[in-house]
A and B are shown apart, each in its own frame.
Chain A
Amino acid sequence: MQTSGKVEPLRSCFAGDADMVELVQEFVQELPGRAQTLAQLMQAAQLDDLRRAAHQLKGAAGGYGFPTISESAGTLEKMLHGATQNQASELQARVNELVALCNRAVAA
């Protein structure tokens, strides 16, 4: 699903903010775990939990300075409002995109 070659890393907009350094680091460390959770929820078709996880990631990523991840999570959340299994492939694509973005995040 990911193109080969160099992947551009995503940096926090708050990289230079002393108040935030530690928090951003912590968040970035947790991100792969969160991404995995999203993928698992999608696989298990637990759409309510997936929506909630996406919702929280939208807010968190925005707060830690990753607007791209926040937007992607927001798009997924919106799709999940009233989503049905019929849209599974579309949802899967969205989840994949979000997971890929999460894995690109670096602290500094």
Chain B
Amino acid sequence: MSTGSETTAQARPRVLVIDDSPDVHRLLKARLKQEELEIVSSESGESGLEELKKSRPDLVLLDLDMPTMDGFEVLRAIKDNADTVHIPVIVLSGLANAEDKVAAFDLGAHDYIIKPFEFTELRVRIRAALRLNFLLRMLSQRAQIDGLTGLWNRAYFDRRVQDEVSRVQRHDGALSIAFFDADHFKSINDTFGHPAGDAVLQGLGQIIQRDSRQSDIACRYGGEEFVLIMPSTGPEDALAFCDRLRQNVEAVVWPRHPERKVTVSIGVAGASSVVGLSAAAWVEAADKCLYTAKKTGRNKVVVSDLRTGEKPAAEQPPLRKAG
């Protein structure tokens, strides 16, 4: 599953060099030998963009003056793509005029080096770009992770749910969103203390993370509420999955209070094909289902199929009730 627990640091930073001159590739490899870098070479703008998708480099060194697709076009393509916009690009150019420099920085270049380059300078500029990028990524990841559970946090969820909802609008896919809420959580805190309550939240986070698929996005919404975005999943599959998860939670024996089970209520809003609803409407629908689950006995899953407009009434028949 994809959460921020992925490490930001790689053993050796990967640098993609896009330059039509074979000499530049040879020289850079020799000159950067000491730098502990993995260097990938492309000799045209077109092949460079292909390579970029494949090898996901930490830094790109990009020549401006190349036949057919020039460096400006490549830079524009890198910065127009949400998947690659964060990769820093150092422009290499034989042209020292201010106009080109300004154009490159306007397009999002990180730095600009005039060829033929002074290699000591190039090395320190590469180091500076990699260091800055590493810190930026660490910072942005920290800011998106919930400190207690290690799941994505609310801010990340708010952004990601927008992305996923607009993705299904464009590509007509399935999507489900599930809200989880620990039942009677306050009484766990009151009875066993806040450390026990924290342990429950961490445990729930682990179960959701463990049971969900690679493509699912598990977030802590706030308090004792969690939310799972399930791309490519219609409401029926989401219901089956969430009910298994509900049972798994119920089966846990908690070390701090073995006598006290923890149960969750779950509300799911899903659609197996495109519906013209905003992200806010999806979230609201899932939240309503959660409310219904709470109102009608807890420890259950209530689902709403947004495509058929079926109301939260399409709920999972109460299989088992919490004790």
Contacts of B26 in A (CB 8 A): 23, 26
Q: Which A residue's beta carbon lies closest to that of B20? A: A56
**Range of interface residues on B (Cβ < 8 Å):** 10 to 19
- Docked complex: A52-98 residues within 8 A CB-CB of B: 52, 55-56, 58-64, 70, 74
A59 to B27, alpha carbons, bound, how many Å? Answer: 10
A11 to B26, alpha carbons, bound, how many Å? Answer: 19
Contact residue among A23, A52, A74 (Cβ-Cβ distance under 8 Å from B27): A23
Contacts of A64 in B (CB 8 A): 23, 27
- Docked complex: A18-66 residues within 8 A CB-CB of B: 19-20, 23, 26-27, 52, 55-56, 58-64
Contact residue among B21, B30, B31, B33 (Cβ-Cβ distance under 8 Å from A56): B21
CB distance from A46 to the nearest CB of B (A): 14
Contact residue among A20, A52, A63 (Cβ-Cβ distance under 8 Å from B23): A63
How many chain A residues touch B (Cβ–Cβ < 8 Å)? 17
Question: Given A55-B65, A60-B23 in contact, is the A70-B116 Cβ separation under 8 Å?
Answer: yes
Are B94 and A59 in contact, CB atoms less than 8 angstroms apart?
Answer: yes
Contacts of A70 in B (CB 8 A): 116
Contact residue among B24, B65, B67 (Cβ-Cβ distance under 8 Å from A63): B24
Are A63 and B117 in contact, CB atoms less than 8 angstroms apart?
Answer: yes
Are A61 and B30 in contact, CB atoms less than 8 angstroms apart?
Answer: no
A contacts with B: majority SS: helix
B257 in contact (CB, < 8 A): no
Are A61 and B67 in contact, CB atoms less than 8 angstroms apart?
Answer: no
Contacts of A56 in B (CB 8 A): 20-21, 23
Are B30 and A59 in contact, CB atoms less than 8 angstroms apart?
Answer: no
Are A59 and B31 in contact, CB atoms less than 8 angstroms apart?
Answer: no
Question: Given A58-B94, A62-B115 in contact, is the A23-B30 Cβ separation under 8 Å?
Answer: yes
Write the residues of chain B forming the contact surface with A, with a CB cutoff of 8 angstroms: 20-21, 23-24, 26-27, 30-31, 33, 65, 67, 94, 115-117
Are B116 and A61 in contact, CB atoms less than 8 angstroms apart?
Answer: yes
Are B94 and A19 in contact, CB atoms less than 8 angstroms apart?
Answer: no
CB distance from A33 to the nearest CB of B (A): 13
Are A19 and B24 in contact, CB atoms less than 8 angstroms apart?
Answer: no
Contacts of B24 in A (CB 8 A): 59-60, 63
A83 to B30, alpha carbons, bound, how many Å? Answer: 36
Are A59 and B116 in contact, CB atoms less than 8 angstroms apart?
Answer: yes
A-B contact pairs, 7 of them (CB 8 A): A59-B21, A59-B94, A59-B115, A60-B21, A61-B116, A62-B116, A63-B116
A62 to B23, alpha carbons, bound, how many Å? Answer: 10
A70 to B33, alpha carbons, bound, how many Å? Answer: 24
